[in-house]
Every structure is written in C-alpha cells, then in structure tokens.
Structure 1
C-alpha cells in the first residue's frame, strides 16, 4: 500500500483526497534516481494523477500549478485548481501540511523551522483567499525531540510563541507542529493531525534520527477528475 493514511472529502467541484506516505517510499532529492522514480510511480498509480514536486528552500514562496508540466519550482507551497495533479510536500522532520478549500482548490506546504517562523502556512492561506479551508498536518518531529540552541528557540518563539518547547531531557527545543496548528487556528482553519513523531517512529523518515541517510516522506493531495 502506497499510503499509510488517506482521507477523501467532498468539495464544490467533486472530491479531494489527502494522504501521507511512510518509510516504504523515499521521495527525496538525495534518493537514487530509480528509487525516487519508483516511489513517484507508486504515487501516480495510487492517485491516478501526475505527481508535482517543488524544490523546497525553507522560505514562504507559493507556486501556482496550472497543469502537470513537470516544473520543479523553488517554493515551499504549491496551490492548484487543476484536477489530475498530485501536489507533494516532502519532509523528514519538518511539517507537511495539506490544505483543501471548499471551492476545490488544494495546496501542499512544507513547513520547516524557517517556514514556520516566516509564515509559509499563512502565506498559502492568503493565496487561497477568503474561502473555507480544512487542513491536515502530517508526521513531524515533536517538541520533545527537536533540540535546538536557546538563541534559535528564542528567535522562532518570538515570531510564533506556540513553538517554544523543551526536550524530554530538559534542553531548549521547538515544537513546529504546535506552531503550525496555532497559525491554522488563528486563521480559523480546522486541522486534522496525522501520524506521530518522525524521530520516535521508525516507520517514518527522520533526519534527526538517521542523518544524511534519511529519506523523505510526503504529504500528497489531489482533486479527482
């Protein structure tokens, strides 16, 4: 099975599905070409749509996808109104966020430390405009595991207070998931949390646990034709 979690929801234009992959697929840029290609082929077969990737740069750029043109934009969020395109947000501790607007538009967001601090999720919601939106927040490293220097915690928490955390061993940490959920709540967006802590769950990819050997899981969202 390609996904460990799938939800399908009605929208004005039909139905949209959201899903998350686990360690069975490696969709990362550093994966061997044949491994990544096989993973993308599985996603395509499971969704009936063309996978669309972005080159994630820990920023706030939102790229509007107008079709399965094979582009690989520098961005941390993808938005589309098109059917037949599967948007992917890849992660290995960062937070993959999937958004579904009631009018049928969809978005996939990669929210890492800088993305949370700088507001990539609010930027994507702004791109979707004033329509009701639902969110799915995928597996990510928890606040009890994401140790950072005190100066970094202070910098991020100054922008997003909900991220302030401590590890289970008592050192400074960030809770990126809590930060994303706070940003969604502030915008009035209901959110469903999917999966656990990537560092603690060895069925998920984690850079903090596996270092350079870590692969990448993905949040995937697509609108059915």
Structure 2
C-alpha cells in the first residue's frame, strides 16, 4: 500500500503505491483517482483502506478537485455539502484531518510543522511549479502559525522521462532554472521535482526527497507510461491527541 511512509512527532505521512486495493484492469489495484474512469465503488473502497491505514475515518481523508492551478485552501474538517473545492493544495491545523494530493507523474509535496501543529499537501505538476504553488502553500501554513516547516517530496516522473518542446522547458527554467533537463534521447525536458525542491529551499523549508521515477517504477501509476491509468497519493495527517 505504501511506497514510502514516515513520522515526525505527531505528523504521519505516506506515499501510496499500486498494491492493496480492489480496482481491476489498468487501474489495478489501489487507484485513488475518482476522475479516471474507474468503478466509483472500487475507488471508495481503496480510499477507505488508505484512511484506515492513516488512522482516520474515511470522511476525514480529504481529496481535492485538482486542476493544475496554484490555489491552496485552508480546512478545519471534512468537506461540507458542496464537496471538494477546485484547488491543488490544502493545509490544516486541525488534528485528525488527513490531506491527500493525487498524482500519476506530477510531484506530490507533503508539508509539516509538527511543533506548530500545521500540515499541508500539494499537487505540483509543471503548471503548479511554474505558478509557484509551493510559495502559496508555505504562506498559508505560516498564516496558521507554522514557523519551522519541513517537506517530504514524493516520487514523480524524472527529468529524463519528461520530454517537452524546447519553449516549454525555457518557460519552466525562467521560473526555476533547476527544472531545465535533458531527456534520455537528448531532447528538451523538464524536471518538475527539481524545480519544486529549489522553491522549497528558497522558502527556508527543509526537504526530504523520496527517490523514484513514476514512469520507470511499475509500482507507481504513470500517465506518461500508460496513458489510461490510476492515481497514487501523498497523504499527511496531524494525529489527534
């Protein structure tokens, strides 16, 4: 179920893999994405299993309607009747609320200040990196009282596997020069995670980087590798007392 998992004081975090769920076919088996064409009941079962593994009930494991933007919302409990908002980052200072970021090549970023009791989850694709969603998430956390923020950056498609047109690489490098990369075949590429890590460092955020390329590792979902596929997630929770 978990590609990587850890704990820092009351903060528990994990990045899921493809194992331990009930989805079938190309979504097998722990698909957490509800927008990819999988059986909705299977997705709910999978999400319930992850919630239980993180020590919360299903209603307290929050997923966003991700849209490759830079909006970050602040929450203090389960979604109301309107459902999940359109955003790509979420932060909370409420114990027992687990925050999730879905990916299938993009970079999942989990943020925490255990002493202040503030956590966050960010979906950072190339558009999110170039619009500096990390900056917004860090600012939202500091508004909630966070001071010493640390990040765990999860596995994502590596720069060698993310070929793009030269002008797209130039646009990304104009925001974060560290994101400019070269593909396996010598063409222009973008390393989103490197750009994200550079932005975290610029915000004085300590970084732990989980190794792994989504496209190269079949334990992970990868849109670039498979096209129609599921989603894995980064999940973080501030444990209830």
* Category of TM-score, reference length = shorter chain: over 0.9
Q: Which residue of 1 aligns with 2:24?
A: none
On the 8 A contact 2:15/2:154 being kept in 1, the answer is: yes
Aligned equivalent of 1:46, options 53, 63, 67: 53
- In structure 2, what is the Cα distance between the partners aligned to 1:5 and 1:143? 21
Deviation at 1:4, TM superposition (A): 2.6
Q: Which residue of 1 aligns with 2:76?
A: 66
- In structure 2, what is the Cα distance between the partners aligned to 1:152 and 1:208? 17
Gaps of 5+ in 1: none
Runs (4+) of structure 1 moved beyond 3 Å? Answer: none
Deviation at 1:41, TM superposition (A): 0.8
Q: Secondary structure at the match of 2:225?
A: helix
Structure 1 position 193 matched with structure 2 position 206 = no
How many residues matched? 219
Aligned positions of 1:117-196 closer than 5 A:
117-129=130-142, 131-196=147-212
Deviations 1:10-29 (A, max 9, x none): 2xxxx010101011210112
Deviation at 1:69, TM superposition (A): 2.7
TM-score, length-normalised on structure 1? 0.94
Q: Secondary structure at the match of 2:159?
A: coil
Gaps of 5+ in 2: 20-29
Aligned equivalent of 1:27, options 32, 35, 39: 32
- In structure 2, what is the Cα distance between the partners aligned to 1:58 and 1:105? 23
Structure 1 position 209 matched with structure 2 position 225 = yes
Q: Which residue of 2 aligns with 1:16?
A: 11
- In structure 2, what is the Cα distance between the partners aligned to 1:218 and 1:158? 28
Q: Secondary structure at the match of 1:55?
A: coil
- In structure 2, what is the Cα distance between the partners aligned to 1:19 and 1:224? 13
Q: Secondary structure at the match of 1:99?
A: strand
- In structure 2, what is the Cα distance between the partners aligned to 1:69 and 1:56? 15
